[in-house]
Structure 1
């Protein structure tokens, strides 16, 4: 086969394309000699020529098949790798069939070897690196699919091989011939990549494939202009073939912008249209009575005289105030007035019309009117009447009144004008006076009583006189006398006799109502006199005695209620007192008891099996199943409860640990710590009954409700957890395993600390250090303080560290701390002072509090009491929660240190590759 023939077929060769490729080197591009390095000189030979299109072609050939022990090397020029991790080599070559070559030794080959050699720069020489397999790295032995002979020529083979991961600035290709007759027609070096793309309104940059053919490389996206994130993080995965796959997160067009260009752009709403919310929707024409001349409007302002209520959506039409009520009808009954009216002619485009009634009292001379006194009774109410009627009572007689009935709706408060109203004027009729309020005995003798009283609160005219009615107590016959003023002396009475007295006033309209009956007695003798001053000490003493009696009754009732407790409850309370210093409650370790039954009965109530009803299994715990059920105890309301069971075939150690959790819980009484209802140790299986938390574990609850809670709600949850931990720390209890998975949430979003029953130790023999429970359940160390890992030093300060991780979990809606990093990598990073970055939209003050919880010096971490105080201040000052930390959510933060390179290399998961590259560039943050 001649070289001219090889050159003639090169113009027919086309590149093999997988996905999107970018070429690093192609020998077909050469316009001059390649001048690659050969060894020995009698081996590979460069041959130049032109194809049919007169394009120069540079090839290498070797054919020393008649000489044994061939070892011919060909090395390319230095090829910069441009930061890619894996490259592909496309080889086009032809090989002659050894059988077609006469008189050759048995050493003839039909294969050749492909090698590469990495270097930081172009330093290779004729003799360096040495021409042997080491230090070169062998890629593969290349064999043709078809060889050629003189009879059948033109057999061109194409082979593609890849190698990596590459770590230096560039590399050389090397070809080793061990005795073949072949021609290397072309060599092309390329890498695969995913091109820039737009998906879900997010732009993802050009991304090279990973170090392995099966690697998935994460590319972070950014929303296109005028789009905002819906869910984060924005990620696409670039596979080994240069294809995008598995989109995560998305963006949508902001308010005032709509999708365009096949959902790759967000264009502004044209004038006269608007879009009120972020989302996939399109711009809409302005609602009635509104308009906009601007582009990108998210709201169409109302025209003059039209408004939207605060509760109206931006998509709703603008409305106006209603007209005045119509056809007002009034009815006067002495000093009472009834008003009725019809609906306004114009409701302003709304159906939420209500009415206000304004009462004004006017002078008879035609002067100005003023607001009615507060004692005027308006039924059903003065403001916000849904009914179209009202009744007014306690008006003054012979008085002119003016009543305004205003019609208002949801936008009346937006209008500066006075609401439209209808007016009706009336004058009240004659009316008798109201009742005399009180009658007092001023002085009494054996035959007389001196009385005094207050005038009626509503005389309704000039009082002409008062009528005093009295009779002996128990007698039906009454006597009456009149008086011109508010006092009178009644004579001709029996000595030492009790009388019932009532008084009423009279005007031209007649008598008013009598006062309430009052009882007074005359004296036995005529000399001693009793006055109101004499009676005051008795009155005060009687009132005081009555007050004391009331207090005594309340105290007796409380004592009686306490005595109604069962004998076991009293015994339970009394036993606890021996462990409690007055004013201070201290946690007692139940495992100090020799008999676990004694401990559990010391701190937990025994419940009768008939009181518990198991309804369904809701999960599995370390000791057995977890069920939902009902608890109905005598004298108490039935309640939903969670029931933990001890599985059959348990060991004595398992029973001790199981009941130990109840003995711990039974000592706690706090709204943010899970409440123990009691235990059933005499049943089979053994049960622990606690309050039921409808929303389950906090971490899974947050993941199911990602993005649905405000920052204030999240801080409220954190405040509850901190309050519970403050209570536990003040009892000298160290939790050891505080994490979002061990916090439960009820239907009111109240968070309660739970999981008190595990005995943990550090497994020194494990290659992946974790805490291991006594029953073998492993707990990740990413929640654990460094000193607890290194020295098993568990304190309230180590619980504070764990609380900082819980804060990060809550603010990230249940994301896994440190993502997919291994436990060993987490330990290395934390030891080198790296800390978790702020979650998305996390207020700066909250991340600062997290960093304080993660201080390496445990004595410098805040106490739980300080954390509760800080969160209370933040909840009172909501503005402080609006300042958000601007930090890339994929970066770990450095706190006074650098991470050694060999430790960075140990983080090998694809999801954290970018993270590890950025860790070495992160600036230190001072805490």
Structure 2
């Protein structure tokens, strides 16, 4: 709480109208003459003398005024016999009016404010001036009068000052607040809204309160300088040249970090200098890094001639570019005479040929009597961004071929190996080692979209061109388009072929199509292809006025802001419960577009198993996305909260709904990329709906196509191996993710791969490990999971096949009775007889915690089961008797004990 000095607005001394007996008297005090209004009829009975002010106009907000009086009152004892009727007080009255009534006076219109008594009275020999202040409350009309009533005193009124209090104009926390009249007894604190200073913003409207005493207290809603500005003496000033500030905050501008361009004043970020880069994981406000120099002193040492094995070692680069994430890659060429070629896959490298962090590698399986050339390259987190495709040109075209070339910036160093390129058109990919290509056997008079992407030595994608459209000529014509140039920008675009309606289906179309795919379907439109993203929002989403939305409770937090439960009440429509995604304050325009792009995606879908978009708020300051409300929230948490409460038939029904939603998306040529139980929402009828389209991307024309990106996070536990390795996403990779969702559902929300690290998960999958069947999982369901996890993506079932199979299982419930083989030591990730550190369980509670059943610790204690030896003696009936009733929990504990017994007996055998 803080205080501001109050200010006083006064009418100074008011003029008076003498009504009865009061008179103007000239007096001398301390050598100075002044006038007073006096009355002194103490010897007469029944005195009623009035003195009234002229009309005092009131400021509309001033409902409470102060009246400060200076006066003198004579001591009644100084009047001898007259002291019997003498008084030593007088009365203050007030009367409100909307107009000046002149000299008209009616006592009945006045109401008493206070009786005024002196602190000190004046005797014959000594003069005392009193000062008293009284408050007149609840004024509401245009003006008022004050009146003074004498009922028998000897009093002289020296002055009457009328004023009201205000909280002065002020600036607090970068918010400007106007001068405000203090409130009255009915409004002890007057709320005042402020305005952020220029170039400052606030998450909520800045407010403050003005007290009755004219003091500011309790500020609410702090303003902060926008990005590119900092606070200097209650104002926001641009960051100086060479400084930056990336976000709205109370922080000061920071100097541009190393290897960045020092821009003019007001910079939001400092871009990298030429030749320096930031990796995707580097903060945009951090320093930029250069490329590492070449490794030094490469040495080959023969270790085992007979087995064709040698050791390569080298020294780190002299210049790391300022980075610590240096890795190395090895390339081998073998030469016979003057002909050299890649060593191929026969050569073995230990530990690997790429991603090396150590400066040595063992090479084996070398052939005798051949010359081998090994090249070691150093890489860092920014190596992929050193080459960007800057333009693409059509060199020549015929009716069946196109010749293209492109530029690379910066150009590769002469001594480095050639950059490889990946050219994509339709869904075909070609690897090229020069920046020129001719593509043949194309359809005449057909437009194709092309994209070129640079690849590192290990095949990791780097910079990419934008898509470019080139069209083959009509049959029988030859056109020369040499030198035609198109400007491109770095980006990642889905490449597809546009086919004229009259073009016949060719061999390519047969390969990429099926009878089902050739049916006329609504096709998803990528909102990112719109030049203005706001156009996509307006096209696919309904605008809602914020007055139709009522927020009730925060139910979560998304990437962009909080998520609320609320009510949508649109005139003419029934009131519905909704979820409201909000955009947190201080957002950039790009963040706003990214936020609303999800609505542009959802707005194109209409299926009972896809979350329904109600609309968006875009035309007001606080953007919102409004969707249907799903009472039971995320599927993974819901299942964990109801572990063991659903039969297999119900769980399969949930899976059928998810599969139906994914079939709908696949049929629209759309890939989700982040299918997981956490992104499935459940309503109060247990209907499951696919949601969260933040990672999803479009696949034009072909549901089996791929989307390639060189950045962004991948949910490893749910992602197909080819999508992890090459960042290529297809409907088939969504099928792999659906298999993981099936496992999550049948395991009641268990975490896939338990506590294994992402690295361990990838390694296990590559070594053909697959998640084991969950407890009580029907065999047919687990077999479908395994089909979803086939390494060859072309052999995985499609979502249409999955829906049909689940429908078949639901129509024949007996097919769910055969249970898949279950190994409790693997299937529920039991640490056997030991804790996470490998040592035996020290207590029953530690064991229960390891299998996520710690809620039953008290049950075991009350039953007297306090040692692991006692646990091993328990049977199913014992577990029921201590209060474990839920079937799923009962089986989990029973299977765990079974696993403990099995492991203990195995250990005993080894001990013998």
Q: TM-score, normalised by structure 1?
A: 0.41
TM-score (norm 2): 0.42
Rg (Cα) greater in structure: 1
